[in-house]
């Protein structure tokens, strides 16, 4: 299956700093990528949809100025958590959409990034 | 309101038995349904996709059924093994449109005891 990588796999930062997470589709081009966050023992919550060459679409309740998304190429999307605070500590997962055969597009997920804000 | 529910938060199965996980949805007409496996601290891994016009899909020891009348999908693992222990997520895509989203259930944590 298709491979999606995320970097870094974990990061610890001080409150008030910004953290950038990269998501790459390694063997396919993804015009659309998605960013999720997941709290312990909970399901994935979609934060935003990232479209190559255009602005991201954010879900209700997600601050676009706090979670900056850039999708500058067909294989790379970045999520920057600006002025991070302890409540931003979470598991962030990206996924990339592989259109594949007509009507059977599938999202492939990255391994996730564990963010801990002290 | 629209909901997708996996009605068992956790399931314990004896090794060798068939594990059956349930996914129900309301107020959606999904184009297709997907099942993912997620291990602790890892991203979900895609397992199977079943379309609205398909009744059943198989892949090795995995079988998925899709009943659009009952608005339900069942996910079966036959001859279960301890290595199958993980959280399994069902997800539905609301339409074939490129703008459609995948909506996830809350997951079922499956434990296979030796």
Q: Model confidence over A68-100: pLDDT tens digits? A: 999 888 899 999 999 999 999 999 999 998 876
What residues form DSSP beta bridges with B24? B5, B72
| Sign of the C-alpha dihedral computed for residues B85, B90, B96 and B100 taken in this order | negative
Say yes or no to pLDDT of B2 above 80. Answer: no
Q: Which residues of chain B lie closer than 8 angstroms to A29, CB-CB?
A: none
| Mutation site for A-interface testing, chosen from B43, B50, B94 by largest number of A Cβ within 10 Å | B43
| DSSP helix/strand/coil, A83 | coil
**How wide is the angle at C-alpha B43 spanned by C-alphas A36 and A116, nearest 5°?**
65
Confidence category of residue B98, pLDDT binned at 50, 70, 90: low
Q: What pLDDT shows up at residue A100?
A: 67
Q: What pLDDT shows up at residue B66?
A: 94
**How wide is the angle at C-alpha B58 spanned by C-alphas B82 and B8, nearest 5°?**
50
* Poorest-pLDDT segment among A51-55, A66-70, A96-100, B109-113: A96-100
Confidence category of residue A35, pLDDT binned at 50, 70, 90: very high
Q: What does the block give as tokens for A98?
A: 């592989």
How much of chain A exceeds pLDDT 70, in percent?
Answer: 94
| Mutation site for B-interface testing, chosen from A29, A44, A54, A60 by largest number of B Cβ within 10 Å | A44
Gap between the Cα atoms of A84 and A13, Å rounded: 8
Q: Which residues of chain A lie closer than 8 angstroms to B102, CB-CB?
A: 34, 107
Closest CA to A73 of A113, A19, A44, A33: A33
Instruction: Kindly report, residue by residue over B20-74, the tens digit of the pLDDT.
Output: 999 999 888 888 899 999 998 899 999 999 988 899 999 999 999 999 899 999 9
Contact pairs from chain A to chain B, CB under 8 Å: 46
Q: What does the block give as tokens for B12?
A: 């314990």
Residue A27 has what DSSP assignment?
S
Q: What pLDDT shows up at residue A94?
A: 96
- Whether B87 and B20 have beta carbons less than 8 Å apart is answered as no
Within 26-45 of A, beta carbons closer than 8 Å to B belong to 32, 34, 42-44
- Whether A15 and A80 have beta carbons less than 8 Å apart is answered as no
Q: What pLDDT shows up at residue A115?
A: 97
Q: What pLDDT shows up at residue A27?
A: 85
Say yes or no to pLDDT of B101 above 90. Answer: no
Q: Do B105 and A114 touch (CB under 8 A)?
A: no
From A33, which residue of chain B is nearest by alpha-carbon distance? B101
**Nearest CA to CA, how far is B68 from chain A (Å)?**
18
**Nearest CA to CA, how far is A83 from chain B (Å)?**
24
3-state helix, strand, coil in chain B (%, to 5): 5, 55, 40
Q: Do A91 and B98 touch (CB under 8 A)?
A: no
What's CA A89's distance to the chain center, in Å? Answer: 14
């Amino acid at each position: 299956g298709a491979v999606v990588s995320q970097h870094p796999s974990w990061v610890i930062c001080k409150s008030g700093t910004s953290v950038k997470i990269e998501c790459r589709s390694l063997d396919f081009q993804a015009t659309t990528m998605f960013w999720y966050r997941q709290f312990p023992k909970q399901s994935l919550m979609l934060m935003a949809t990232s479209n190559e060459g255009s602005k991201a679409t954010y879900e209700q309740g997600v601050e676009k100025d706090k979670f900056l998304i850039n999708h500058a190429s067909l294989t790379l999307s970045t999520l920057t958590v600006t002025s991070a605070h302890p409540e931003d500590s979470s598991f962030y997962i990206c996924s990339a959409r592989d259109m594949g055969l007509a009507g059977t597009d599938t999202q492939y997920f990255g391994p996730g990034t564990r963010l801990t804000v002290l | 309101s629209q909901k997708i529910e996996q009605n068992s938060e956790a399931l314990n199965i004896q090794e060798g038995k068939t594990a059956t996980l349930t996914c129900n949805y309301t107020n959606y007409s999904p184009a297709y349904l997907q099942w993912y496996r997620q291990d602790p601290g890892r991203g979900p891994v895609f397992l199977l996709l079943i379309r609205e016009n398909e009744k059943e899909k198989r892949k090795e020891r995995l079988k998925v059924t899709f009943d659009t009348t009952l608005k339900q999908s069942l996910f079966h693992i036959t001859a279960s093994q301890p290595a199958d222990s993980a959280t399994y997520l069902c997800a539905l895509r609301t339409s074939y449109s490129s703008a459609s989203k995948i909506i996830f259930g809350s997951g079922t944590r499956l434990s296979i005891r030796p």
